[in-house]
């Protein structure tokens, strides 16, 4: 048996995407960030402080095993994914049922205790960690899949299901969750819905407002709002579910969702292309929409600075040599011959028209994953920077890259690197500014300038990441006062004491 | 400059979950994603690099199998191989095709095409035989250098670093020779679009074992193909003492 064991190990090495082999052990030792309350000019709301009798209530409700108050264990929940923000909560609660969430919120509301709802804690705008000592309500134990209907394609599950696990479960029935993002192994569906997460396939399948058929949520006073319909058509009264989608846990905590899954594609192709300039990228994009039509499922772009970035941080290299712009294009369909005929014809035209300079195509799982990993693993490099200012903006496609060029000039020698990548199909740009360390001077030079320019270009200052804590103060830049006031009225109605996710979304 | 032959086998893509046929005669292949055997890809890459270094003059890729085997030949052509030879073996005949048959087919083509060096993947990931390179060397009565992780080319001989138990072995062998490629020999390239387009115009010659005078009648009979045993579910133990108890009970400590 020994030789075959040896083989399986060797084969295992082969499974690592070929140009992504790198030493995962290269970690810089990172210090814990300062408390958010110290780093940012923000003052604590008039909430009650956690007392012994509160703890007794929670212990009676959940038992000791579903509460965390150990300082070291708490860190994971207090610090955000970027290691930039740090709350000082002293309690994590892990309910398993809607009833428990309701009882917790009802109690907190009555006692005036602030609550920070948390799913996978993968927010990049500080939406999922407490700012001060808010109680963290983690949905991680609410991970039951309630039903999967393989005829209608509707999955009903609890909010704490990890996206990837949910997708694996529905895959057994030939279905696919119409949402895919880099954080899929950690993020939870409840968080995805609360933040109206976008991701890699929004271009084809639309956002959560379209794909969530129903949900159940608990408002601040513990009231359970049941809109867990599984119907495609249901025009009975106000569509309340939409208020919870994208409101980032400020109106209520989502406890269950019903999602319309799509049929899992049986064949996929991925093309990785190199282009001379952004004008040609747009021409390729237009041609792809025309020639690939319904099978086009994702179209991503990245610039040469992004490729340099992942080369330097993660030792990932371009599979096709160096070009000013790279495009990743995916098709998903049900007939291999049909799809490959289409994609090869498209690529031939794009190449002969000089829209693209070079490229490669993957039709096998392993190579498809390897090409995707070039794009999906970019965020892994973020934590290996001195400091990275990240912006997530939507722009009309014709202005998509002008902002990156403009920021390069605007930053001058203040930044080590300015790079852009994103979901071209949705006009969603991830603009990153790398610096040696955090500096208020650099931040002031960036903000609100970058937001003002985005608005002038006809864009949105938060495309898919939400406002969270970090962008909250710019809400007034994005929306007129009457609209913001109306949002505040709604918040007041759902959560009069403001205990749910305070310091977030609103300035 | 050497004329190089590489073998390319079409196998079920390694990312695919293998399912055994209900009648236990083999595994399901219909509608399942296939790709080039990863070790063969390494062999192709090595040959293409030889050509780029001007130590090889022409590269011929051979695949034995059903009509779809041409897909992997096209992949090899797109990577830089000059010519493909498809030896068509389909249906039940393919199911019992063994390294002994393949090596005879390869040896015949080697002689017809006046090949100086044969590079094969060390094994295919579907049947894990690891025999074809060795048998081909035997049929041709050529020296063999198996599990190559590095090859240096001289005018009449090659120096090969082999991965063996406990370390690396360096051997020299005279050309013509047969080499089998191990995992760390190189990292195969991605075929670029212009080369994929060009590959469509490159020739693929079609042959049958009969054309080559090779008898492919089966030497073995497949008795049964079965799933590996299912892993039993784990148990959660309340404390260290019961863990120690369990480990003792199972004879692990």
| Cβ pair A348:B197 closer than 8 A | yes
For A430, the 3-state DSSP assignment is: strand
Cβ contacts of B126 on chain A, cutoff 8 Å:
none
Nearest 5°: the CA angle A157, A58, A110 is 95
% of chain B surpassing 70 pLDDT: 100
Pairing of β A296-303 and β A325-333: antiparallel
> How many whole angstroms from its chain centre is CA B87?
15
State which residues form the domain around B63. Answer: 2-249
Complex prediction ipTM: 0.76
CA separation (Å) from A9 to A3, A13, A286, B183? 10, 7, 45, 11
The CATH number given to whatever domain includes residue B210 is 3.40.50.620
Query: Mean of the pLDDT values across residues B211-215?
Result: 96
First CA to last CA distance, chain A: 65
Lowest mean pLDDT among A23-37, B27-41, B178-192: A23-37
A376 forms beta bridges with: none
Give the count of alpha carbons within 13 A of B246, CB side only: 10
**Chain A residues whose beta carbon lies within 8 Å of the beta carbon of residue B191:** 360-361
Residue pairs between chains A and B whose CB atoms are closer than 8 Å: 63
- Furthest-apart CA pair in chain B: how many Å? 71
Contact across the interface for A366 and B125, Cβ inside 8 Å: no
Which residue from B minimizes the CA distance to A18? B187
A465 CA: distance to closest CA in chain B (Å): 32
Helix orientation angle between A52-62 and A98-111, rounded to the nearest 10 degrees: 170
- Closest in A356, A365, A369 to B16, CB measured: A365
Q: What average pLDDT score do residues B42-56 get? A: 96
Whether the CB-CB separation of B147 and B163 falls below 8 Å is answered with: yes
Q: How much is the pLDDT for A356?
A: 96
Place of tokens 């060029």: A405
pLDDT tops 80 at residue B98:
yes
Question: What is the strand order of the sheet A67-68 is part of?
Answer: A67-68, A92-93, A135-138, A115-118
Q: How far is CA A31 from CA A37, A227, B37, in A?
A: 17, 44, 45
pLDDT per residue of chain A (507 residues) written in tens, 0 to 9: 333 433 443 344 344 343 333 333 334 445 788 899 988 889 999 999 999 999 999 999 999 999 999 999 999 999 998 888 999 999 999 999 999 999 999 999 999 999 999 999 999 899 999 999 999 999 999 999 999 999 999 999 999 999 999 999 999 999 999 999 888 999 999 999 999 999 888 999 999 999 999 999 999 999 999 999 999 999 999 999 999 999 999 999 999 999 999 999 988 999 999 999 999 999 999 999 999 999 999 999 999 999 999 999 999 999 999 999 999 999 999 988 899 899 999 999 999 999 999 999 998 888 899 999 999 999 889 888 888 999 999 999 989 999 999 999 999 999 999 999 999 999 999 999 999 988 889 999 998 899 999 989 999 999 999 999 999 989 988 899 999 999 999 999 999 999 999 999 999
| Cα–Cα distance, A267 to A306 (Å, whole number) | 29
A362 to chain B: closest CA residue? B190
Residues of B in contact with A18 (CB under 8 A): 187-188
What is the 3-state composition of chain A as percent helix, strand, coil, each rounded to the nearest 5? 40, 20, 40
Q: For chain B, what is the domain count?
A: 1
Contact residues, chain A, for B33 at CB < 8 Å: 364-365
* Chain B residues near residue A348 by CB distance under 8 angstroms: 197
Q: What is the pLDDT of residues B134-145, one digit of tens each?
A: 999 999 999 999
> What share of chain B in percent tops pLDDT 90?
78
Phi, psi of A162 (to 5 degrees): -70, 135
Contact B183 A4 (CB under 8 A): no
| Partners of residue B34 on adjacent β-strands | B12
Q: Which residues of A touch B125 (CB under 8 A)?
A: 11
For chain B, the residues whose C-beta falls within 8 A of a C-beta of chain A are 13-16, 31, 33-35, 38, 123, 125, 128, 182-183, 187-188, 190-194, 196-197
Query: Which residue segments constitute the domains of chain A, with CATH numbers given?
Result: 36-138 (3.30.43.10), 145-263 (3.30.465.10), 267-378 (3.30.70.2190)
Residue owning tokens 């760390």: B184
**What does the DSSP assignment read for A77-123?**
HHB-TTS--B-----EE---SHHHHHHHHHHHHHHT--EEEESS---
Chain A residue nearest residue B200, CA to CA: A344
What is the predicted pLDDT for the residue at B253? 82
pLDDT at site B238: 86
Contacts of B19 in chain A (CB under 8 A): none
Nearest to A253 by CA among A57, A119, A120, A147: A119
Phi, then psi, of A100 in degrees rounded to 5: -65, -40
- Please report the pLDDT score of residue A30 as a whole number: 58
**Cβ <8 Å between A10 and B187:** no
Q: What is the pLDDT of residue A23?
A: 34
Quick one: which of A23, A500, A9 has its CA closest to A222? A500
Residue B187 has its nearest CB partner, among A18, A348, A351, at A18
Is beta strand B34-36 parallel, antiparallel or unpaired with respect to B56-65?
Answer: unpaired
């Amino acid at each position: 048996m020994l030789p075959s064991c040896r083989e399986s190990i060797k084969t295992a090495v082969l499974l690592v995407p070929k140009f992504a082999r790198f030493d995962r052990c290269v970690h810089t030792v990172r210090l814990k960030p300062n408390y958010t309350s110290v780093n940012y000019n923000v003052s604590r709301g008039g909430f009650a402080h956690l007392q012994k009798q509160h703890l007794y209530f929670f212990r009676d409700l959940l038992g000791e095993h579903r509460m965390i108050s150990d300082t070291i264990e708490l860190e994971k929940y207090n610090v955000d994914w970027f290691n930039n923000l740090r709350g000082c909560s002293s309690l994590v609660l892990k309910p398993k049922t809607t009833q428990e969430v309701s009882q917790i919120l009802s109690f907190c509301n009555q006692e005036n205790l602030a609550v920070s709802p948390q799913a996978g804690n993968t927010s990049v705008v500080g939406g999922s960690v407490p700012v001060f000592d808010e109680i963290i309500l983690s949905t991680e134990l609410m991970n039951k899949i309630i039903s999967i209907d393989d005829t209608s394609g509707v999955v009903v599950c609890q909010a704490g299901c990890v996206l990837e696990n949910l997708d694996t479960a529905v895959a057994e029935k030939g279905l696919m969750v119409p949402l895919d993002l880099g954080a899929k192994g950690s993020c939870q569906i409840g968080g995805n819905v609360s933040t109206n997460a976008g991701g890699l396939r929004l271009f084809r399948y639309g956002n959560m407002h379209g794909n969530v058929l129903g949900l159940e949520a608990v408002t601040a006073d513990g009231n359970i709002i049941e809109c867990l319909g599984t119907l495609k058509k249901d025009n009975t009264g106000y569509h309340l579910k939409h208020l919870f989608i994208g409101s980032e846990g400020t109106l209520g905590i989502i406890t269950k969702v019903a999602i319309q899954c799509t049929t899992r594609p049986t064949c996929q192709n991925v093309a990785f292309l190199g282009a001379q300039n952004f004008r040609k990228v747009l021409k390729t994009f237009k041609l792809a929409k025309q020639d690939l039509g319904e099978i086009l499922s994702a179209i991503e772009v990245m610039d040469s600075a992004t490729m340099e970035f992942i080369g330097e941080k993660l030792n990932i290299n371009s599979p096709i040599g160096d070009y000013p712009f790279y495009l990743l294009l995916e098709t998903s369909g049900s007939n291999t011959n049909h799809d490959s005929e289409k994609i090869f014809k498209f690529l031939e035209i794009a190449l002969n028209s000089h829209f693209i300079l070079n490229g490669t195509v993957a039709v096998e799982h392993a190579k498809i994953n390897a090409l995707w990993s070039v794009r999906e693993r970019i965020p892994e490099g973020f934590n290996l920077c001195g400091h990275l200012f990240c912006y997530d903006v939507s722009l009309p496609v014709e202005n998509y890259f002008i902002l990156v060029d403009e920021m390069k000039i605007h930053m001058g020698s203040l930044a080590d690197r300015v790079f852009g990548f994103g979901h071209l199909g949705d006009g969603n740009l991830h603009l990153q500014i790398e610096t040696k360390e955090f500096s208020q001077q650099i931040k002031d030079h960036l903000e609100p300038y970058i937001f003002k320019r985005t608005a002038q270009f006809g864009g949105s200052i938060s495309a898919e990441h939400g406002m969270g804590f970090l962008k909250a103060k710019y809400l007034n830049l994005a929306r007129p006062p009457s609209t913001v006031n109306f949002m505040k009225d709604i918040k007041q109605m759902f959560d009069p004491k403001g205990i749910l996710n305070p310091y977030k979304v609103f300035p | 400059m050497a004329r190089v032959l590489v073998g390319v086998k079409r196998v079920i893509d390694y990312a695919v979950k293998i399912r055994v046929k209900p009648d236990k005669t083999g595994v399901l292949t219909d509608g399942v994603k296939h790709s080039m055997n990863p070790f063969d890809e390494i062999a192709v890459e090595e040959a293409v690099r030889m050509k780029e270094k001007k130590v090889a003059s022409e590269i011929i890729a051979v695949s034995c199998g059903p009509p779809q085997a041409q897909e992997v030949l096209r992949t090899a052509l797109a990577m830089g191989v000059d010519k493909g030879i498809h030896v068509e073996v389909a249906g039940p005949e393919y199911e019992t095709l063994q390294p002994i048959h393949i090596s005879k087919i390869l040896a015949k083509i080697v002689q017809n095409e006046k090949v100086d060096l044969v590079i094969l993947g060390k094994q295919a990931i579907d049947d894990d035989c690891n025999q074809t390179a060795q048998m081909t060397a035997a049929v041709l009565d050529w020296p063999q250098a198996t599990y190559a992780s590095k090859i240096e080319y001289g005018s009449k001989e090659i120096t090969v670093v082999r991965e063996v138990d406990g370390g690396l072995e360096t051997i020299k062998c005279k050309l013509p020779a047969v080499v089998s490629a191990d995992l760390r020999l190189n990292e195969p390239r991605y075929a670029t679009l212009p080369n994929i387009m060009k590959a469509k115009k490159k020739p693929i010659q079609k042959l049958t074992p009969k054309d080559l005078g090779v008898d492919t009648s089966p030497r073995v009979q497949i008795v049964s193909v079965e799933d590996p045993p299912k892993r039993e579910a784990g148990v959660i133990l309340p404390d260290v003492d019961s863990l120690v108890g369990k480990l003792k009970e199972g004879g692990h400590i």
